[in-house]
Structures are given as structure tokens and as C-alpha cells.
Amino acid sequence: MRYPLIAGFTALLVLITALSIYTAREEQRMQTAQADLRQVAITDASAVYVQYCATCHGATGEGLGATPPLDNDGVRGMDYDTLFKTIARGRYGTAMTGWHVDEGGLLTTYQIDQLVALLRYGEWPQVRELAAQQGMIPVSLAAPEVANEQIAAISALGPEGSIWANGLNLYAQNCTTCHGATGEGSSLAVALNTPELRSQDAATITRTISEGVPGTMMAAWNKALQPEEISALAEFLLHWDQVEAAGVALSLPTIEQIDLGDAEAVLALGERLFTTTCTTCHGENGSGGIGPAINSQQFLSRKDDAAIEQAIIQGGKRPNSSMPAFGERLTSVEITALVRYIRSLQATAPSVANPRGTQQGGGGPPWLRDRQP
């Protein structure tokens, strides 16, 4: 009866060998597993970002209006705790509200962890790709197209024309988000298309662009652009008035106009806008989320069109509301379409127990909701 014992101890020997090999590779395996997990987190977070954050921070983290950009080294350098707290609890007194479910938001700890991974190890091209697929790029990506005829028209202006054309192109790609399509400036940056700027000499402007203005959002561009490109930009800025006189102007991409008389088309536009921009907070089909259940008899019977339009243009009434002000971002046509679409829901809207959104308190437990027991 020795045979089983011998077989057993042979197996034991094999086991010990296998375990030693496994042990030797464990550290390496864990490293790889962690890297893989990080990659998964970034991919997952991209979807969450596009769904919830892009409305304010821009489809590629570039920042919209007064909302800060996230695709920058400042944010990448923040530690985990700061970023987690910012996203989970929000910033008091700003439109950045708490996104954690415990704060009335929509995101779990796990999702916020993933967002932190995205912000720190970010892969914004991936986010942009995803946003593009969801039709969000034209709304938020403010890089105007420069047409070939425009290039030709500028080049025809004189011997330096092709340099100016190059400068205009670079400006369109890099500077319009802050300085505006026509150089009129924005809440983020000063106007550039001004006689005062043109009174400076080329060397000064070139220095400002390459070194930036410390302490402001004006970055040092010498890391991103070649010296020739920066001097082309400076030349363009100095001769913007001439370019304009030639009839060349940049315009931000606009959503195609539709005929307001065509009720069907208006409703379709409204529906498309609603599902791409509003359902993230107001729930699928407007069934409620952070924001109130728009698609409910309770909500629709209490709000007239004017109140809805007001809310869309000016954002949430409560201080610290996460309802963004869409007034600057959507055209009046789009806002009208949204209002009409929302009103059209009234015919089929269900009655719900509690139309209030989670950030409005959610209405409390069932036994505390009604005035009369």
C-alpha cells in the first residue's frame, strides 16, 4: 500500500515547484493587473464623463464658459483625495454640486474613483471620440472651420498673406475657446482684436504667446507650438483688421437652422436635445434623477412654458443648483424646441409619487411625505 503515498508526495513536490514559480511572478502579475485595471477605469469613466460632466466642463475637458477646464496639468497634479472630494461633495457656492449618491448626486464611490483615474491619467482623445459618437461635439467644441477660400483670400492680401492665413488657422484651432471667434474676448480672456493690441510690437506679442501670462489662464504656448507658428500668430493678430477688411471672419459652428413653423421638425430637434443634454440629470425620458421628473403630470401642470424657458436659460433657482444655465450655449431656436418638446410630453406623462429630484431633497421617506396622514 505504498503506491498512493508515493504518488501523493510526487504531487506535493510538483505543487511546491509550481507555488515557487507562482510566487516569483506574483509581484509582476500584480503590477500588470493594476495597469489593466487603470485602463479599464479610464475607459469606463469616459462614458460617465460624457454623460454627466461634459455639459459643463466641455466634451474634451476644455471647460465651457465659466466652468474650468479639466484637461490640464493642474487637475492632473491634484491628489486623489482632493479630486474625490471635489467630485463627490462639490464646491460650496458654485455650480459644481456634489455628485456622490450620498450628496443627492447620481454617482457611486466606484464611479467617482474611475473619474479620478480619468482626470489624473486622462485620455481625453478617447473621451472626445465618445462624445462625438453621442453627438455632443458641435455643441461644445468651439473650434471654427477655416475654409480654403478664406485662406486664398488672405493669401491674396500681400506678400505676408500666407503667414497671416497660417496664423488665422492656428488661432481658430487653439485660441477661440478663450478669446472668441472674432477676438472679442469672453468671460475667460481679454479681447485681442483691438487697436490697443495692435499698437504693441511683434516681439512683445510673440513673447506673451510663447511665455504666457503667469498667474492667469494664458498658458505658455512655446511647449505646444513651434516658434514659426507663434510668430505667424503674432503677425496675424497685428493684421487682424486687414484680414477682417478682406471679408474673412471666423464663425463658431452653428446648429442647422430649422423652420419654426414645422412643428414636427421642432419637436424632433427638441427631443434630440433633451435626450442628449437633459436626461443625464432628469432621468431617462425625463423620469427624474438629480433634477425633477419633468415627464410627470405633477411637474408639467405646475410649470408654464415661460417658467420652463426661464429655467433652461438661467439655470437652477436654488443657490448651488447643478441645473446649468443653457442660455449662452443653446440658441433661442433650440430652447424653444426644448420647451415645445417638454410641453408635448404632457399628453402622455404619468402621475408619479414624487416628482422632486434627489438634489431637491427627494421628498423624504413615504411616511413623512404627505401632509395629512
Binding site for ligand HEC (CB under 6 A): 52-53, 55-57, 67-68, 70, 74-75, 83, 86-87, 91, 94-96, 99, 115, 119, 171, 174-175, 177-179, 188-190, 192, 197, 205, 208-209, 213, 216-218, 221, 233, 277-278, 280-282, 290-292, 307-308, 311-312, 316-318, 321-324, 326, 338, 357, 359-360
> CA–CA separation, 373 vs 315, rounded Å?
35
Nearer to other proteins, 37 or 152 (CB): 37
> CA–CA separation, 118 vs 201, rounded Å?
42
> Is 18 among the residues that bind other proteins (CB under 8 A)?
yes
What backbone torsions phi and psi does residue 13 show, to the nearest 5 degrees?
-60, -45
- 20-39 residues in contact with other proteins (CB under 8 A) are 22, 26-27, 29-30, 33-34, 37
Nearer to other proteins, 13 or 147 (CB): 13
DSSP 100: B
Q: Which does 331 bind (CB under 5 to 8 A by kind): other proteins, ligand HEC, none?
A: none
> Is 362 among the residues that bind other proteins (CB under 8 A)?
no
> CA–CA separation, 323 vs 305, rounded Å?
17
Q: Give 125: exposed, middle or buried? Use CB within 10 Å, 0-12, 13-18, 19+.
A: exposed
Q: Minimum Å distance from CB 292 to ligand HEC?
A: 6
Nearer to other proteins, 270 or 283 (CB): 283
What backbone torsions phi and psi does residue 41 show, to the nearest 5 degrees?
-60, -45
> Is 113 among the residues that bind other proteins (CB under 8 A)?
yes
> Is 8 among the residues that bind other proteins (CB under 8 A)?
yes
Residue 300 contacts residue 349 (beta carbons within 8 Å)? yes
Pick from 110, 152, 241, 314: which binds other proteins (CB under 8 A)? 110
Pick from 5, 24, 306, 368: which binds other proteins (CB under 8 A)? 5
Q: Which residues, 6+ apart, have CB-to-CB distance to 5 below 8 Å?
A: none
Residue 357 contacts residue 289 (beta carbons within 8 Å)? yes
Residue type, 210: S
Residue type, 108: T
Nearer to ligand HEC, 78 or 246 (CB): 78
